[in-house]
Amino acid sequence: MEWSIFQQYGPMLLRGFQITVFCWLFGTIFGMILGLLIALAQRYGVKPVRWLLQAYIEIIRGTPFLVQLFVLYYGGPLIGLRLDALPAGLLGLTIYGSPYFAEIFRSAFRAVPHGQIEAARAIGMAEVSIIRRILLPLGLVSALPALVNFSIILTKETVILSIITVPELMYQVQRMSTETFRYLEANLVLALFFWALVELISRVGRRLEIRITKHLIERT
């Protein structure tokens, strides 16, 4: 083991990690928003819309992320979509995550007892209010564990962005490896960074879960 090379490559790796975290945050947040919109449109939309979205879900879930990235990055220019590596990567992550998030929200919405929706309808609440005040808060609670779980999976999908030259952690690690032949050290550091990130996310997730279910659990 030869650790002194990190004096030289450390700042570069840190910068790469920052980009990794940024890509992950971006993909998670916007993937979740897109997924939520898809789930809502599937619940309330007319049939053609639902079919179209179902097709979208099947296609994205049925193909490897790498292929989607290639299509977006190399195929995009053919239809006039010319993106730099980073924006292409961010867009790719968002699209890739959205169907999984959509499915999580879909099943979470189904878990909201129908009676609670009916109670709102019975007093004359408008559907928009019902979504905002009943369906979303209760759906989010039951979705949270699965949301945290998938966003952890997404952290590790960010390494694929290195293939289209997004300068995230994997990219920097590979560069360092080929320049120094210190493959083991470089990849160990990568593993360490990811482990720390995943650990952090799961801890925050658990805290959040305890907090938002505080009032929902029966204590007699």
Partner 1 sequence: MVQASSVEIRKVNKFYGPFQALKDIDLSVPPGKVTCLIGPSGSGKSTLLRCINFLEEYDSGEVRIDDQLIGYEVPGGRKMPARKLREMRRSIGMVFQQFNLWPHMTAQENVAEGLIRVRGLPRAEAADRAVEALRKVGLGDKMANHPARLSGGQQQRVAIARAIAMEPQLMLFDEPTSALDPELVGEVLNVMKTLAGEGMTMVVVTHEMGFAAHVADQVAFMEAGELVAVDAPARILHQPEDPRIQGFLRTYHERNAF
Binding-site ranges for partner 1 (CB under 8 A): 113, 115-116, 118-127, 129, 133-134, 137-138, 141, 215-219
3 state SS of 104? helix
Residue 88 near residue 76, CB atoms below 8 Å: yes
Residue 35 near residue 99, CB atoms below 8 Å: yes
Residue owning tokens 């296609």: 59
Beta carbon of residue 129, minimum distance to partner 1 (angstroms, whole number): 5
Number of CB atoms found within 10 A of residue 219's CB: 5
Judged by beta carbon, residue 39 or residue 136, the one nearer partner 1 is 136
Judged by beta carbon, residue 62 or residue 115, the one nearer partner 1 is 115
- The span from the CA of 73 to the CA of 50, in Å, is 28
Number of CB atoms found within 10 A of residue 102's CB: 27
Judged by beta carbon, residue 140 or residue 188, the one nearer partner 1 is 140
Judged by beta carbon, residue 1 or residue 218, the one nearer partner 1 is 218
Beta carbon of residue 43, minimum distance to partner 1 (angstroms, whole number): 16
Judged by beta carbon, residue 134 or residue 163, the one nearer partner 1 is 134
Beta carbon of residue 136, minimum distance to partner 1 (angstroms, whole number): 10
Beta carbon of residue 13, minimum distance to partner 1 (angstroms, whole number): 43
Q: Which of 85, 130, 108 is nearest to 32 (CA)?
A: 108
Q: Per the structure block, which two tokens stand in for 104?
A: 């999580």
Beta carbon of residue 113, minimum distance to partner 1 (angstroms, whole number): 7
